[in-house]
Each structure stands twice: as structure tokens, then as C-alpha cells.
Amino acid sequence: MKQKEKKKVTYNQDILELERRRIRAVQKVLDRVKQTEVAKEFKVTEGAISQWMSSYKESGWEEWFKSNAKAWKVCNLQNRAWREAI
């Protein structure tokens, strides 16, 4: 595999992993875990959790990913990758 292709794969995996983390964090809050606890567990700010929750509440999972073009492309919501992340 060429170096450029290898970097692209790694970059896409990183994007996918970030989206999976966001999904898991939002799901924990939906499961009634306090946002402060989720923020500590995922090592992000409470503000980040709050923004993710706002995005989710405004549009749900699918629209949330559509608004993030990189995640949409990497997760390819037409398939099942995003569902596996949940």
C-alpha cells in the first residue's frame, strides 16, 4: 500500500472512531448517566457533551451525521457502519 493511501485509511479510521465515541457518549446521556460523568469518562469537556446532545435532540442520529460531511462519507449511512457504532 502506498504511503498516501495508508494515511487516508488511518485518517478515515480516526474519523470513524471519533464518531463512535460521540455516539457512545450521547447514548450514555440518553441512558440517564450525568453529562459530567460522561465528560470525565470520555475525557472531553461538559460543553462538548452538551453540544453533542443539542445536535442529537435537534435532528436525531441520521441528520446529525449528514451535517458532518466527513462522518457521513466515512460511516456511509446508506450501509450499516453507523448502526454498528451505536
Q: Which residue range forms the structural domain that includes residue 23?
A: 3-85
Grid cell in block for residue 27: 447514548
Higher-confidence residue: 31 or 85? Answer: 31
What is the percentage of the chain residues whose pLDDT exceeds 90? 34
Q: Which runs of consecutive H residues, i.e. helices, occur in 1-86?
A: 3-30, 35-42, 46-66, 69-75, 81-85
Specify the 3-state DSSP secondary structure of 36. Answer: helix
For the whole prediction, is pTM greater than 0.85?
no
Q: How far apart are CA 78 and CA 81, in angstroms?
A: 9
Instruction: Provide the domain count of the chain.
Output: 1
Q: How far apart are CA 33 and CA 29, in angstroms?
A: 5
Specify the 3-state DSSP secondary structure of 45. Answer: coil
pLDDT of residue 62: 72
Averaged pLDDT, 62-69 = 66
